Structure 1
Amino acid sequence: MLGGTEFVGRAVVDAALARGWEVTVFHRGRHEPPAGVRTLTGDRTAPDGLAALAEGSWDVVVDTWSAAPSAVRDAARLLADRVGRYVYMSSRSVYAWPVAAGLDEDGPLVEGSMDAGDVPYAEAKRGGELAALDAFGADRTLLVRAGLIIGAYENVGRLPWWLNRIARGGPVLAPGPRELAVQYVDVRDLAEWTLDAAEAELSGPYNVVCPPGHATMGELLESCAEVTGSAAELRWTEPEAILAAGVEPWSDLPVWLPPGEMHDAMHAGDVSKAVAAGLRCRPVAETVAETWAWLVSLGGVAPQRPDRPSVGLSPEVEAKLLGR
């Protein structure tokens, strides 16, 4: 596991350990790795930062890297002769805009280069895909194109923000419509599917999120109210009023995108290939409950990736909108 101490990487490590697998975690040493793993330390962005990986062989490597593609290139080339399969945690962001509803893995892709340094997220993920393919070939490379990922260990802040906001109680701006579909993947379901796919020696790209219609905004936020025991009043508000107030979908109101092009791109992808390959998605209430239990164990303060902006609507803007 390249990484393995936070969010997706941590979930993959936990799932692998639960299966009795022998797990090696290569990381920078900024966070404590899970108990039971072999630890190798290094910074893949530094000169000679991969030295700890110079020896050893593994059945599969899982890489969640989302910055400069050249780091994936260097790691993949170093490991190509000593690893059976390369699993790269990519993203549905690699599809070229506009992303139509129902787009499958054959959709047009953004440009990317495996030799690139710091580039925008979509180009970075596509460059990472190309780097893995270059070193391992199409038959030994699995590209996991996840969408919105939520669940325990989340260090981006989306579901934790909703949980904390609803736990505070009172009137809550709930972005409508209530029946609006949301498409995401629980990090634990993502981890389990990824390990199953690696064990089955699958290759190529897979969109890995729950099927469209698996959950709605209403089910998500009402589950937050239920697990927190909050007396919050969800006030469902039409998208037009929210947008007219200058509120930014996705960042000010995490997860939510109004009906239209953006919603189709994020919440309406075709995942039939992954479902046919065994993807199972737990109910949204279970995901919310597990995330809340984890958040409570941290005193309500979730970790935040330094390379991602904080999310959530300010109390002042929410109060103003509710006042209307």
Structure 2
Amino acid sequence: MRILVLGGGWFLGRRIAEQALERGWEVSTFSRGRSGRDVPGVRAIRGDRTVEEDLKRLADAGPWDAVVDTSSADFAPRRILAGARVLEPAVGRCVYVSTVNAYVGWPFEPLSEDSPLLDAPPDAGEEFGRDGSSAAYYGVQKAGSERAVVEAFGEGRALILRPGVILGPGEYVGRLPWWLRRAERGGEILAPGEPGQSIQPVDVRDVAAFALDQAAIGGAGAFNIAAPIGRETMAGFLTACVEVTGGGGELRWTPDDVLLAAGVRQWTELPLWRAAPGSWRVDASRAQAAGLTCRPLAETVADTWAWLQGGGMPVEHPRWGEHGIAPEREAAILAALER
């Protein structure tokens, strides 16, 4: 099996490259080489996917049985469409990593693969959808990019993966690392919402394995990628953070309405917390029936802590700085609860 990974230097792309090599596959990666590190054993091809000549040179380096696109978060659909058209003759199929943000109903209602997607044409530019929130803009752009991949490769050769939250060693967004560092500090910890709230993060290694499995068997269509609804809870997650770090912190559970009244930013100040009812109601049973296996969240927490303790450092990314509540702000909210 010959596979091309667009990206391949960090987090999901890196895990895909590593696991493909472990399977004995021939792996090529394509990146500018400005962040992350090449996985030993890959054929690293340098270039910029916004430059047509670089894409033509990449296509000439093929063919490949599959391409996995993990690096398109900052590219408009028209860029995805142009690149896919150049690569299509040299690639058997395309695995495109999208997001649940592409659905009209996220995060306000339960979702399945049959839920409607946001409306964006496959040739949309960077400004399309920018009049909404940053999350809505991201979803619109990804929905258009999905359509771009399908237009270039056809429905039978395009596989769309829609993960929710991906955690694990190498995470660059900062959600789980922030909670681990907060648990390490100990003391009274502002714990959001209800302890029994279902959450559905998925481990980066499990996403990589599913992507490669589907590439190998010629999978097509769309799959939501998330842990089973109801299996993991916010209490289980935060308790695992406290236990693995040994900080001895005490979780102070705080209702959604109290946090909203205090102006706590959902999703970022207290990572993974969101009051909207559909945030963690993503039906991923289709992927699970097709072979997606999600390890226990406590294992992801422990392995990420071991990675951090071992000197693991994510690539620099602006989203890291968005996450986590300031200690003085957390203390003020906790003090108000006492009063």
Give the drift of 1:307: 6.0
Please say if 1:23 is aligned against 2:27.
yes
Give the Cα separation in 1 of the matches to 2:106 and 2:210.
28
Give the drift of 1:74: 1.9
Q: Which amino acid in structure 1 is aligned with residue 87 of structure 2?
A: L
Q: Deviations over 1:112-150 (max 9, x none)?
A: 122223242111111211111111100000000111111
Please say if 1:296 is aligned against 2:304.
no
Residues 52, 169 of structure 1: CA spacing in aligned structure 2 closer, same or farther, 3 A cutoff?
farther
Residue 140 of structure 1 corresponds to: 157
Please say if 1:245 is aligned against 2:228.
no
Q: Is the 8 A contact 2:199 2:234 kept in 1?
A: yes
Residue number among 18, 27, 30 corresponding to 1:14 in the alignment:
18
Q: Which amino acid in structure 2 is aligned with residue 5 of structure 1?
A: G
Residue 132 of structure 2 corresponds to: none
% identical equivalent positions: 47
Please say if 1:42 is aligned against 2:40.
no
Give the Cα separation in 2 of the matches to 1:179 and 1:17.
39
Please say if 1:193 is aligned against 2:199.
no
Give the Cα separation in 2 of the matches to 1:8 and 1:232.
31
Q: Which amino acid in structure 2 is aligned with residue 269 of structure 1?
A: V
Q: Which amino acid in structure 1 is aligned with residue 66 of structure 2?
A: V
Q: Deviations over 1:264-304 (max 9, x none)?
A: 1x2001111111101111011100011111122236x5444
Residue 171 of structure 1 corresponds to: 188
Q: Which runs of 5+ in 2 are unaligned?
A: 129-136
Residue 245 of structure 2 corresponds to: 228
SS at match of 1:268: coil
Residues 219, 140 of structure 1: CA spacing in aligned structure 2 closer, same or farther, 3 A cutoff?
same
Q: Deviations over 1:6-28 (max 9, x none)?
A: 11111111211121111101011
Residue number among 86, 94, 100 corresponding to 1:92 in the alignment:
100
Residue number among 69, 74, 89 corresponding to 1:81 in the alignment:
89
TM-score scaled by structure 1? Answer: 0.94
Q: Is the 8 A contact 2:55 2:87 kept in 1?
A: no
Q: Is the 8 A contact 2:188 2:251 kept in 1?
A: yes
Give the Cα separation in 1 of the matches to 2:42 and 2:106.
42
Give the drift of 1:225: 1.0
Residue 149 of structure 1 corresponds to: 166
Residues 235, 303 of structure 1: CA spacing in aligned structure 2 closer, same or farther, 3 A cutoff?
farther
Q: Which runs of 5+ in 1 are unaligned?
A: none
Residue 323 of structure 2 corresponds to: 311
